[in-house]
Chains A and B, each alone.
Chain A
Amino acid sequence: MFTEFEQDELREIVNIGSGNASTALAKMLKQKIHASVPLILFDEVQNILPKLGLADSRVTVVLVRVDGEIPGVFFIALPLENGLELASMLTGEEKSGTLLNEFGSSALKEVGNILSGASLTALSKFLGLDFVQSVPEITSDMLGAILESILVETGEAYEKILLISTNLDFATDCHARLFFVFNPDATNGILSAVQRKLEK
């Protein structure tokens, strides 16, 4: 469906976004963060899900809805334990228990805000497309349950959806994964914006 060239373009655009996001987070945490080459999947929901990890692994997810010219969803997934670690790094509170407390949750939501803001602003500047981002929502649950809900709700009206994901590896052995999910209208909008840019 996407040509190699279009995939390269998308990868490059997401690289700009996730590069900005990881720089913002690295500054906040004062440590190095490595962002991987983005993975691009364009398929039906049931074919995408098995490629994203074990359905019953436990994760914390911070999600932001994106409206405007590039409608979709941006979210960060962290293994449960890493979510607790990151919250403790941010709040300075000792890690305790197996669930995030109120303070830890709002610290992670703020990370979601900063990461989505940094990456979407970069994207929007690069493409000349406007967007509005929602306040973040956080939940901890099984990866499969979270992903299927996000993908089905985003792709309800469509057969295939576009998902782009990047791994962030922290110097302190913490791992997070950024996801961008666009519906086909947004995807076409992004591709034609790239075309316009290239023709200039």
Chain B
Amino acid sequence: MHEDVKYIGTGEVAVSSTGIIKTSGIGSCIVVTLYDGEKKIGGMVHAMLPARKENGTEYLLSPKYTDEAIEILIDEIEQQGGSRERLKAKLIGGAKMFRLLSGDNFGIGFKNIESARENLGAIGILIESEDVGGTIGRSAELNLENGLVLVSSMM
């Protein structure tokens, strides 16, 4: 068991160079982890929506939105000595928990996955692996020693 575990909730972000960052109960939300293997620094964000609705007025970036969450995560990692050139991403979540709410094809989960892929692609960050979609909830933990992510589900 690791002593050094930091938990984040929905709409939160964390960056570290030691221990583990963990989040539980990922449904339609998307969790993005970024890791710089050379500097052994990385972070995780648990975002809810693909993007903000209104863009007119000035606002502070919020980890609620997938696109802004990725920006926040990269900035934070670079401030602590990492580099976007070396970051590798992993995606977890984006499930469809209820057909009644999401319809048959496209729900928030799907849009969150698409938003993460697009935004990472635009910056040029490789997605190393994904455990996304489906109809199950997940939990994820990022190990800062090696950048590995452990995903678990109830079923």
User: What distance in Å separates the Cβ of A98 from its nearest Cβ neighbour in chain B?
Assistant: 10
Tell me if B116 is interfacial: C-beta within 8 Å of chain A.
Answer: no
Give the contacting residue for A145; candidates B11, B48, B64, B137; CB below 8 A.
Answer: B137
Do A46 and B97 touch (CB < 8 A)? no
Which residues of chain B (83-141) have a CB below 8 Å from chain A? 95-102, 107-109, 135-139
Compute how far the CA of A90 lies from the CA of B28 in the bound complex, rounded to whole angstroms. 32
Is B27 close to A, CB under 8 A?
yes
Is the CB–CB distance between B137 and A141 below 8 Å?
yes
Contact with B along A141-180 (1 / 0, CB 8 A): 1111111111011101100000000000000000000000
B100 touches A65 (CB 8 A): yes
Q: Which of chain B's residues have a CB closer than 8 A to the CB of A58?
A: 154
How many chain A residues touch B (CB < 8 A): the figure is: 31
Residues on A with C-beta less than 8 A from B11 are: 45-46
**B81 interface hit (Cβ, 8 Å):** no
Residue pair B48, A148 in contact (C-beta under 8 Å): yes
Is B24's CB within 8 Å of the partner chain A? yes
> Are B107 and A46 in contact (CB-based, < 8 A)?
no
Chain A residues, Cβ within 8 Å of B109: 149
User: Shortest distance in angstroms between A106's beta carbon and chain B's nearest beta carbon?
Assistant: 16
CB pair A145–B108 under 8 Å, yes or no, is no
| Beta-carbon contact of B154 and A149 below 8 Å | no
Complex Cα–Cα for A142 and B154 (A) = 7
Q: Which residue of B has the minimal Cβ distance to A136?
A: B100
Q: Check A148–B27 contact: CB distance below 8 A.
A: yes
A-B pairs with beta carbons under 8 Å apart, 21 shown: A45-B10, A46-B9, A46-B48, A46-B64, A55-B9, A55-B139, A65-B101, A137-B99, A139-B97, A139-B98, A141-B97, A142-B139, A143-B25, A145-B26, A145-B136, A146-B97, A147-B25, A148-B10, A153-B98, A156-B49, A157-B53
Residues of A near any B CB (own CB < 8 A): 45-46, 49-50, 54-56, 58, 63-65, 73, 134, 137, 139-150, 152-154, 156-157
